[in-house]
Amino acid sequence: MIESINQSFAIFRDDLFPLLGGGNKARKMMALHNTIQEGQHTSIVTTGGIQSNHCRATALYCSKYDLDCTLVLHGNKEKFLTENGNARLIRNTNANVVFCNSDEISLEMDKAMLNYKALGQKPFYLYGGGHTLEGGKAYIDIIEEIKKSGFAPDYIFLASGTGSTQAGLLAGISKYQLKTKVIGISVGREKKRSEKIIKEFYSELCYRYSIPENVNNITVADEFLCGGYEKFNDEILQISNNSYTKYGIPLDTTYTAKAFYGMQQIIKKQMITGNILFWNTGGIFNYFN
């Protein structure tokens, strides 16, 4: 899934993951499959925004495996009912959708869990973004693929949201003793908070899977937020609009075009050389919206 652009620059096509609409959220969701099936869970409760890739992957998973699903969504209900992209896919599943304010998410998820239990079901509580050890393990395993590919990246750049993808890659780098530096381009959180969350999850993964914890510097750049999640500037929009003609891949303004723009700016500013791998985490449905 590594696509070479030139001798020293390649793209990892996580957007081509073949199940549940693709992308890192679909990969993380499928990584949970054995846990959900072996635990005999009959329903899943999770949360996200109205265009959440994670909620789309969860809803499609539940449809595929005949599980009940409750999505606790924060955002504008009217937009959800009319927009395309992930919102449309979610609407076309049997997912039960609950709308709430951001400060009510935990309460609404707890309510949904209790409702399922009252019906005699065994619900699975899934944190937003697919933030699980199993999901992180999927990215530990991918580093082995990278090592076997023949392309040895000095740097990996990716969109960083909940941080579990970045933490998984870092744990994989530790396990397989690579010297690759991972730079996350934040799509919504400020640097200090992001780096703290990633460090904590990296440590959890290393402990759970008996990996030497040897990464000390977690790097997240937050200077390309453009005001926050789903916000972008003219340069990011231009990258998104030109991504097919220049690179043959879709880059959306919420995640991947923002990360690509951040990568370009950091390379120029720091005069980075060496092999660079851009991790296309997905976002095709954000692109179409």
* pLDDT at residue 5 in the model: 72
Catalytic residue among 4, 8, 52, 194: 52
Query: If we measure between CA atoms, which residue out of 222, 205, 193, 196 comes closest to residue 169?
Result: 205
Burial state string for 247-271 with b = 16 or more CB within 10 A and e = fewer than 16: bebbbbbbbbbbbbbbbeebbeeee
From CA 238, how far away is CA 77, in angstroms rounded? 29
What would the two tokens of residue 199 be? 């460090």
* pLDDT at residue 1 in the model: 66
> 9-13 and 2-6 as β-strands: parallel, antiparallel, unpaired?
antiparallel
- Residue 274 sits at φ, ψ, to 5 deg, of 105, -175
Contact 212, 171 (CB under 8 A): no
Domains 2-22+132-288 and 33-130 share a fold: yes
Q: Is residue 157 helix, strand or coil?
A: strand
From CA 46, how far away is CA 48, in angstroms rounded? 7
Give the CB-side neighbour count of residue 177, counting CA atoms within 13 A: 0
Neighbouring C-beta atoms of residue 97, cutoff 10 Å = 19
3-state secondary structure 56-71: HHHHHHHHHCCCEEEE
Fold category of 33-130 in CATH: Rossmann fold (3.40.50)
Burial state string for 52-76 with b = 16 or more CB within 10 A and e = fewer than 16: bbbbbbbbbbbbeeebbbbbbbbbe
Fold category of 2-22+132-288 in CATH: Rossmann fold (3.40.50)
pTM: 0.95
H helical segments located in 177-216: 191-208
* pLDDT at residue 216 in the model: 83
Find where tokens 């950091």 sit: 266
> 276-280 and 9-13 as β-strands: parallel, antiparallel, unpaired?
parallel
For the question of residue 243 being annotated catalytic, the response is no
Q: What is the pLDDT along the chain (289 residues), one digit of tens a residue?
A: 677 777 799 999 999 999 999 999 999 999 999 999 999 999 999 999 999 999 999 999 999 999 999 999 999 999 999 999 999 999 999 999 999 999 999 999 999 999 999 999 999 999 999 999 999 999 999 999 999 998 999 999 999 999 999 999 999 999 999 999 999 999 999 999 999 999 999 999 999 999 999 998 899 999 999 999 989 999 999 999 999 899 889 999 999 999 999 999 999 999 999 999 999 999 889 888 7
Query: If we measure between CA atoms, which residue out of 195, 206, 194 comes closest to residue 168?
Result: 206
Q: Kindly list the domain boundaries of the chain, sorted by start residue.
A: 2-22+132-288, 33-130
What would the two tokens of residue 79 be? 């937009």
From CA 181, how far away is CA 165, in angstroms rounded? 14
Neighbouring C-beta atoms of residue 289, cutoff 10 Å = 18
**Distance from the Cα of residue 27 to its chain's centroid:** 9
Q: At what angle do helices 133-149 and 164-175 cross, to 10 degrees?
A: 50
Query: If we measure between CA atoms, which residue out of 203, 260, 255 comes closest to residue 229?
Result: 255
